[in-house]
Structure 1
């Protein structure tokens, strides 16, 4: 007789599919809000490889809020100056980014380099610290949803029943395909790109080494990865062949396009290939399932926008899920995730494509400090139209009555700034900072959302109570 074993379904509030930066950042945000969330990953461990190595200034502010910035700063470093080589000679220096100043408004002025595998480790450690969970070896095989939740099946292990599911499972998202959501886009470059984390001798670590195309060869770039002994090799393959990712294959490319000998490349630690593409999911939500990160948008890596845009997705969705799951706002609030994030993702797709094609520089726009939600249905500005900071904009840093605003914003709460204006009585869920008029802000009342954007602004508190009631903040 065969023994019958019942497979028990696990129940959680939120199931996050994919343990990359998107899924882990969302897991951290939900864990600090007390949400019962589970991150599942089909692989046996966190994915290796440097992949997205650039942390933009806006993402550094997000990481500050999530409690991982100190670890990120310790793990990485500034981007090196590009050094152009020709026939074994250094011929020119090339700045990889437009100059950026650190200001009080924007204390993190320039991108910070951290290999993606290390960023994932840091987020995982923070998730563990907060009591969050990651389950590996969980390959999704299908899902069904109804009015009350979503049931997800796996190739091995018990199914999971969740009130909401977030697909953060990459550009080939099983969840997105299972839902039948299409992606609209274009090929940015028809030529395959090889990327590999390697060990190399004979190159200094003070420069990003650039070898322009010669004859029938594509470009080659070799970048020292901050915080490691590795170099990231990036090579364009012009003959449309599938790149040889073996040690010998990468050695041949490096030796053919640079002054390095094959034996100077001593080790391949990770390698992959891709074809640069820009594509946007036709929608970011279907019922109780949301798409985030590469599952929702795929970018050229040029300009360092992919990982950062993905983390912004998680940061936008996290606080909304928390409010809805606590019963403080209707489920319709979650509709604003697509409303706010899809236009921003579309804009970043266009920017990344322009940078890839040499039509735009890595400058102010790529730092993502200018992203905002002025047109969102969650944005209310009761002041007369004017220039300067408006509701929907990122809330910049300042020091108000001795309080550094990024410190005041840190945490899962809302923050009310009362500048040269008396603060009204408001619920305990809102932190209040009072002080004189502040540069960039001016005077008035500014209610800052948990994700660091001004949700409501006014010269007086007229209409503020009605706004805060939408999020259960008056109790």
Structure 2
């Protein structure tokens, strides 16, 4: 069989997960293609909540300011009583930004705007989404994956090192792998619609008949647009009319108000809520990310965020292995991310049950700042360490002051595809000649000084200790100066040449041709 294209990674699905992975691979110089079977971008608002941890990811990907500008914050919830009176309340607990956690407020950005920002960023990096191109078959062996794509111009065969299924809850990739998708249907069917509407102001999220699953309906102004989003439970079976006239009639019946007018519908969908989790995230050279690996109710605004962070976890690991790191590094993707999705499904399902009773309250847990990988095989702590921060935890931000007088943040030091090693009041060499690693020292007489002790407070390091921060912003290791040989081992045995697709390298190494070049995949 003639192979038309040879690449490092084929990404199937150009939603938020696929776009995150593409941006991350692009900035590392990895060859890839991002294909999407739809002929045009997704038009709906569906995953509109951007949680604080995802905002940190977007800062690293250099799009956070654009994301904030594209949307806004959530308005207060306005709950209407049967007599027409109402009360306003916050959507959840309110937290103030801190030096360690600069993002504390969930953003509202309709998904179609988030993905546009991401596509624009991808274009800046010299890549684009190939719309109207569908994965229709693939096979793999120990060397590579052979995939067949179908589009307007016919079929083509692609050979790649890795295939990533980011193709949604009905994932063709997952089904082709035969990976089970156990879980349950949650007994709730709902509609969501983006509409032009009059009769309600844009200063509140309007909630009618809270806790009554027969009559409940909410109407939320969509930040960054002139649209409103309608959400409402619907009967478990039967056809659903999603026209402007039908939505108008539904709102009138559920609210008792005739002044709310639906003029037009830009996007609408009816769906049954499920909670399902793929039994495996990796089969050989094929991976599942985002909704292809987990589906859940929308309560709590967890879905898009979990999907983005799946891809963010996987991207640097694929690049590292393509550059010569041990293949076992890729096993840590499932090891780290599947438990996160399992916990997220429990959270979203619990919030759904609370919403049915009219008492949903979003707390700190929805912000995803406490997600971590302490039990990961990649996390290295000194023996007996008992501190607030351990390897596997999210690496906090903190202000620091440069010896020349400039004020910086740790997140400035972390931004980019590299590893970061920070020594606290350390002296002497630690690792030499390791590309893709940036080393900084904090303390009196060092290049950086701890501004108002925020670094020490957040990291809890003792004088002479080092902290290694992974490319995805999690602590990889904490070691004493006497144990820096452990860092040498980590880079040599686990992360060898993890940086070799860094942007400053002109000729990334390639592997031997795939032995599937003569395979028949239909």
TM-score, length-scaled by structure 1: 0.95
Compute the displacement of 1:43 (Å): 0.5
Compute the displacement of 1:50 (Å): 0.2
Alpha carbons 2:82, 2:209 under 8 Å: kept: no
Root-mean-square deviation (CA, aligned residues, Å) is 1.9
Alpha carbons 2:169, 2:295 under 8 Å: kept: yes
Aligned: 1:424 with 2:447: no
Residue in structure 1 matched with residue 491 of structure 2 by the alignment: 468
1:239-296 per-residue CA deviation (whole Å, 9 max, x = no partner) reads 5333211222212211111244387110100000111111000100101000000000
Compute the displacement of 1:387 (Å): 2.7
Alpha carbons 2:245, 2:262 under 8 Å: kept: no
Alpha carbons 2:63, 2:117 under 8 Å: kept: yes
Residue in structure 2 matched with residue 446 of structure 1 by the alignment: 467
Separation in 1, partners of 2:12, 2:77: 37
Separation in 2, partners of 1:256, 1:55: 32
Match of 1:159 among 157, 160, 168: 157
Aligned: 1:135 with 2:119: no
Match of 2:208 among 198, 208, 211: 211
1:118-169 per-residue CA deviation (whole Å, 9 max, x = no partner) reads 0110111101110123111112221111121111223333122211000000
Structure 1 unaligned segments of length 5 or more: list them: 1-5
Separation in 1, partners of 2:264, 2:307: 31
Q: In structure 2, do the counterparts of structure 1 residues 431 and 259 end up closer, same or farther at CA, with 3 Å as the change threshold?
A: farther
SS at match of 1:191: strand
Residue in structure 2 matched with residue 346 of structure 1 by the alignment: 342
Q: In structure 2, do the counterparts of structure 1 residues 230 and 207 end up closer, same or farther at CA, with 3 Å as the change threshold?
A: same
Residue in structure 2 matched with residue 150 of structure 1 by the alignment: 145
Deviates more, 1:229-238 or 1:139-148: 139-148
Residue in structure 1 matched with residue 418 of structure 2 by the alignment: 413
Residue in structure 2 matched with residue 63 of structure 1 by the alignment: 58
Deviates more, 1:258-267 or 1:103-112: 258-267
Alpha carbons 1:88, 1:258 under 8 Å: kept: no
Aligned ranges 1:2-401 → 2 under 5 Å: 9-87=4-82, 89-156=84-151, 157-188=155-186, 190-212=187-209, 217-238=214-235, 240-261=237-258, 264-327=261-324, 329-358=325-354, 361-401=361-401
Structure 2 unaligned segments of length 5 or more: list them: 402-406, 444-454, 500-522
TM-score, length-scaled by structure 2: 0.86
Match of 1:434 among 434, 441, 465: 441
Separation in 2, partners of 1:450, 1:174: 30
Higher normalized contact order (CA 8 Å, seq sep 6+, divided by chain length): 2
Separation in 1, partners of 2:189, 2:367: 27
Q: In structure 2, do the counterparts of structure 1 residues 335 and 474 end up closer, same or farther at CA, with 3 Å as the change threshold?
A: closer
